[in-house]
Amino acid sequence: MPIYEYRCEACGHELESIQRMSDAPLLECPVCGKPALKKQISAAGFRLAGGGWYETDFKKDNKRNIAGEPAAKPAAKSSDTKSSDTKPVASA
């Protein structure tokens, strides 16, 4: 069952609740008693790591995304190399 985060708009109290997806959202704050609880949006608390289907089936060019491996750095462009598309500017 997922863990939902709530915040009371009246008093600012924050709480977590384990609920079924089909359960109605909580409304009443356990601290102030007002019906002002709102669900918060949060990130999932897990990361898929290793060599499972999620690692191999959705990658292109045999790239992998494994924790602990350094991210690929983009190639730096040389500033002193002129491109072949550049035309000299004509003086007026």
pLDDT, averaged per 10 consecutive residues of the chain (92 residues), comes to: 91 94 94 95 70 59 59 53 55 57
Does some domain include residue 80? no
- Which of 61, 45, 46, 6 is closest to 28 using CA atoms? 6
> What single letter denotes the amino acid at residue 5?
E
Does some domain include residue 52? no
Give the pLDDT confidence score for residue 2 in this predicted structure. Answer: 84
Does some domain include residue 61? no
Does some domain include residue 14? yes
DSSP for 47-64, written as a single string? ---SSSHHHHTT-STT--
- For residue 23, give its domain range: 3-39
Give the pLDDT confidence score for residue 10 in this predicted structure. Answer: 95
**What order of strands is seen across the sheet that includes strand 14-18?**
14-18, 3-8, 37-39
Give the pLDDT confidence score for residue 64 in this predicted structure. Answer: 59
Does some domain include residue 18? yes
Does some domain include residue 49? no
Say what the pTM is.
0.48
Does some domain include residue 60? no
Give the pLDDT confidence score for residue 27 in this predicted structure. Answer: 95
For residue 65, give every residue at least 6 positions away whose Cβ sits within 8 Å of its Cβ, in sequence order, or none: 55, 59
Q: In the chain, how many domains are there?
A: 1
